[in-house]
């Protein structure tokens, strides 16, 4: 009996030891898995934060506010437009579309029409690129039709506000702009908005040199395919300005705002409203409130939400690990 009891006890002790070892292994694996998950979540959090920061930096660099200091205005406490031209001698003009965030210097490369697609106004590489005049056009805007390009970006950066002209109220309430070049301001009166194809060479043919009949045909073509038009007198003797950017709806789609260059400088009524509001920009169109509330892009909001969720999960894991350690310490103390 004694031998049997001893054998049974040894067997039981062996089973207990094996179970204890198994429990310890499971706990160890559980802790390792918890730490791995926490590490992965932290890496995702870091990457998400980096992505948001990197995207934010791109839009910050593309914002018109980055260039306000160079705008050709009579102010002693700002850098001059000439200072910007000294940095990059391909900068030659300044474009403003009243009632939008289009308020940028304009560059021109006579040799490479794509140079400023990924080059900022100072000549440095940039995903946001610059606002630039077609290489085939003349810098003095003496051509019958001049095409100015810019990226379509969220938050109204570069030519991101052009697609808003597809709303009739927005188009009708924003009639004028300004183009500074050759040390002089010139007015722009916009008379058409159209949604076109990037490969429509009837439009993308800068510097038409043909007869007056060819120029009138060009104007009629723009008006025929336009989404909205404004009834103003446009002739073959006028200088036409086209602002072109990519459309978000179609791969080869383009949003184009068309205006007539004028020696008359038009009043910026939106600037007056801004002054009356104590320097706070006030949109008067139906989309104004949505724009103000939607400064972040859709992807930006998703990223922020995911970041918050990840932070909560990491905190829960940390609390779980801390609780497990407290339980272990309590059990040790009880023994």
State residue 261's pLDDT score: 97
Q: Nearest 5°: phi and psi at 143?
A: -70, 155
Mean pLDDT over 6-16 rounds to 56
For residue 269, how many other CB atoms are within 10 A of its CB? Answer: 15
pTM of the model: 0.69
* Topology of domain 69-293, CATH: Sortase; Chain: A; (2.40.260)
Q: Which residues of 10-38 are buried (b: 16+ CB within 10 A; e: fewer)?
A: eeeeeeeeeeeeeeeeeeeeeeeeeeeeb
Mean pLDDT over 296-308 rounds to 61
Categorize the per-residue pLDDT at 61 as very low, low, confident or very high, splitting at 50, 70 and 90: low
State residue 127's pLDDT score: 86
State residue 243's pLDDT score: 98
State residue 40's pLDDT score: 73
Say if residue 150's pLDDT is above 90: yes
User: Which tens digit of pLDDT belongs to each residue from 234-248?
Assistant: 999 999 999 999 997
State residue 108's pLDDT score: 97
Length of the chain in residues, anyone? 335
State residue 316's pLDDT score: 72
Q: Are 211 and 115 in contact (CB under 8 A)?
A: no
Categorize the per-residue pLDDT at 12 as very low, low, confident or very high, splitting at 50, 70 and 90: low
State residue 277's pLDDT score: 46
> Where do the structural domains in the chain lie, given as residue ranges?
2-58+302-334, 69-293
Mean pLDDT over 86-93 rounds to 95
For residue 287, how many other CB atoms are within 10 A of its CB? Answer: 13
DSSP for residue 119 = B
112 Ramachandran zone, left/alpha/beta (phi>0; psi -120 to 50):
beta
How do beta strands 145-149 and 240-246 pair? parallel
């Amino acid at each position: 009996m004694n031998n049997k009891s001893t054998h049974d006890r040894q067997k039981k002790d062996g089973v207990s030891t094996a179970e204890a070892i198994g429990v310890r292994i499971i706990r160890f694996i559980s802790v390792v898995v918890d730490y791995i998950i926490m590490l992965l979540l932290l890496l995702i959090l870091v990457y998400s934060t980096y992505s948001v920061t990197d995207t934010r930096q791109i839009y910050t660099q593309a914002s018109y506010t980055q260039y306000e200091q160079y705008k050709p205005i009579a102010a002693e406490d700002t850098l001059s437009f000439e200072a910007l031209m000294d940095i990059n001698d391909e900068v030659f003009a300044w474009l403003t579309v009243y009632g939008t965030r289009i308020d940028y210097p304009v560059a021109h490369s006579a040799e490479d029409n794509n140079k400023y697609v990924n080059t900022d106004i100072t000549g440095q590489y940039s995903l946001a690129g610059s606002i630039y005049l077609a290489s085939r056009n003349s810098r003095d805007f003496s051509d019958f039709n001049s095409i100015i390009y810019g990226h379509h970006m969220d938050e109204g950066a570069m030519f991101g506000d052009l697609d808003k002209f597809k709303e009739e109220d927005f188009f009708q309430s924003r009639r004028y702009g300004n183009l500074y070049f050759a040390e002089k301001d010139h007015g722009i009166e916009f008379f058409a908005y159209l949604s076109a194809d990037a490969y429509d060479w009837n439009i993308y043919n800068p510097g038409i040199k043909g007869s007056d009949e060819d120029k009138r045909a060009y104007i009629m073509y723009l008006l025929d395919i336009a989404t909205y038009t404004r009834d103003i007198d446009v002739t073959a003797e006028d200088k036409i300005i086209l602002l072109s950017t990519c459309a978000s709806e179609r791969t080869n789609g383009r949003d184009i705002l068309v205006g007539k260059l004028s020696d008359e400088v038009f009043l910026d009524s939106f600037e007056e409203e801004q002054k009356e509001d104590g320097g706070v920009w006030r949109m008067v169109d139906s989309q104004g409130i949505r724009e103000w509330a939607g400064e972040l892009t859709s992807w930006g909001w998703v990223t922020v939400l995911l970041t918050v969720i990840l932070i909560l999960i990491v905190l829960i894991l940390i609390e779980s690990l801390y609780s497990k350690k407290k339980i272990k310490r309590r059990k040790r103390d009880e023994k």
